[in-house]
Amino acid sequence: MSTQPRRSTGNGTGSDAELSSVELDYSSPGSDDYTSLARDAVPVRTLRREDFAAVVRIDRHVTGRDRSEYLQRKFAEVLDEAGIRVSLVAEIDDLAAGFIMARVDYGEFGRTATTAVIDTIGVDPAWEHAGIGHALMSQLLANLEALRVDNVRTEVDWRLFQLNRFLADCGFVPAQRIALSLSVAADTETAR
């Protein structure tokens, strides 16, 4: 069967007019013009309390540090304090292969825009380059769009080139903000 449309000869006969108004069906199961979404290739679900040990393990592999106290606070925040749960876990063979921890803010610094903040993301090095990060980000963005979130932001150390490249691939761009920092231990005379 040909997938090419029949074209009208333009002679005005009824059959040509009917042929030119026929809607084409490009949904043939044999020819998929679009690749599947990342989140369709990897199972992604909502973060649960029992994921803590796996998240700490993955984070330790990624960062090279034990950030279990920080992650414990983040778990409490996203599971107990947040009104809307948007943090996710990707699974391979029923084991956590990656996670993304995020929260929705309904305004800060006098602004009322709905913004989601990505606090941390991690992929088990055994599953690096397997689409885990893209699956997590894709599902997060789909969930946030359904919640009518206006913006997603995160902060990244500029020296984390691989993470910055991943975020750029996901559509993130530098914000029109300047992050300011002050060391509390600094000489108090400098601050005056």
Q: How far apart are the first and last CA of the chain?
A: 80
Q: How many angstroms separate the CA atoms of 182 and 4, rounded?
A: 66
4 in a domain, yes or no? no
By residue range, what is the domain housing residue 149? Answer: 38-169
Sheet holding 88-92, edge to edge: 44-46, 88-92, 95-105, 115-123, 151-153
129 in a domain, yes or no? yes
pLDDT digits (tens, 9 = 90+) for 12-67: 444 444 444 444 444 444 433 333 455 667 899 999 999 999 999 999 999 999 99
Among 110-119, 130-139, 140-149, name the one with the lowest average pLDDT: 110-119
108 in a domain, yes or no? yes
Q: How many angstroms separate the CA atoms of 136 and 41, rounded?
A: 11
Looking at residue 102, the DSSP 8-state letter turns out to be E
84 in a domain, yes or no? yes
Residue 14 to residues 5, 18, 23, 94: CA-CA distances in angstroms?
17, 6, 16, 60
Buried/exposed code over 52-69 (b: 16+ C-beta within 10 A; e: otherwise): bebbbebbeebeeeebbe
Q: How many angstroms separate the CA atoms of 99 and 71, rounded?
A: 12
Q: How many domains does one find in the chain?
A: 1
pLDDT digits (tens, 9 = 90+) for 96-114: 999 999 988 776 666 556 8
162 in a domain, yes or no? yes
Among 23-32, 81-90, 133-142, 144-153, name the one with the lowest average pLDDT: 23-32
139 in a domain, yes or no? yes
161 in a domain, yes or no? yes
55 in a domain, yes or no? yes
CATH for 127: 3.40.630.30
